[in-house]
Chain A
Amino acid sequence: MEALKEELKSKIIEQLNLEDVSVDEIADDDPLFGDGLGLDSIDALELIVMLDKDYGIKLADPKEGKKIFESVGTMADYITQHKTK
């Protein structure tokens, strides 16, 4: 689980081009959207693609993303339970 969280943090930084953020600056429960990392609607869509591409998870309803992408912690929980690759 810890390894997955670290992996997610570096993936988020790389995929979403967060140039000025480093892995150790993101806490497991930091909010990703809003005041946290300040991600926006395109980033949310990009995270949906990441789930599909890297973990074989297809979100049936994009609205589900809101809960899943609350923080690195919630993402890691969801991926652990649902991943197919």
Chain B
Amino acid sequence: MMEKEYFISSYCHIRNNTISLNGTTLYQEQHPDFKSLAKSAYRYFKTDYSKFFKMDNLSKLGFLAADILLKNEGILPENEENIAIVLSNRASSLDTDRKHWESIRNPDTYYPSPAIFVYTLPNICIGEISIRHKLYSENSFFIFDEFNPSHLFSYANGLLDMQKAEKVLCGWVDFDGPDYEAFLYLVNKKGAIEHSIEEITRLF
């Protein structure tokens, strides 16, 4: 097995009405809920992607964080870079699962919506990021009861060591009722921060 050294070249947080990149706050504004925050941040960052508004909360959260981070890295869709995506969370797609369940619970108001049902899988969030940035790459969505830096560390190293990806977009994207939290980071062959369990834990 090849033992190489990898780095974290950028990281992004979205939580508590705040969006930050590499530890610097880019956007902060009080909003009653995530939906309103997402809409406002979408405009602030000139995201220009109308399909954004069709996404569920989990996808919006992951998509926004990925968009800010990858733009900062100068990643362009036309370059078709081999960037794998490895995401994780606690609540899977339960926020949307509950919405779908509500639509079918009562026989008198039984109208399941295809546009909601399609988001009852957590990896749809990865699909949305892949479509936007034209990433034809490896993708996996893992569920843990809490943030698991050692798993993300090993899995990203596995993808890079086996040359299945050039870079890996990793992190935690969780949406559950009123609570939301995104932490994404890019594992790269160059960068300022060492890719280690300690550093991932520290940045989280």
Contacts and interface: CB of A to CB of B under 8 A. Distances in A.
User: A and B: direct contact (Cβ < 8 Å)?
Assistant: yes
Interface of A: 16-20, 38, 42-43, 45-46, 49, 52-53
Contacts of B52: 19
Contact of A52 (B53, B54, B111, B118): B111
B22 interface: no
B115 A42 contact: yes
Contacts of B50: 18-20, 38
B130 to A, nearest CB: 16
A43 B51 CA distance: 11
Contacts of B112: 49
Chain B's interface size range is 10 to 19
B156 to A, nearest CB: 32
Interface of B: 39, 50, 52-54, 111-115, 118
19 contacts: A16-B54, A16-B115, A18-B50, A19-B39, A19-B50, A19-B52, A38-B50, A42-B114, A42-B118, A45-B114, A45-B115, A46-B113, A46-B114, A49-B111, A49-B112, A49-B113, A49-B114, A52-B111, A53-B111
Nearest to A19: B53
Chain A CB within 10 Å — which of B39, B52, B54, B118 has the most? B54
B42 to A, nearest CB: 9
A53 B115 CA distance: 15
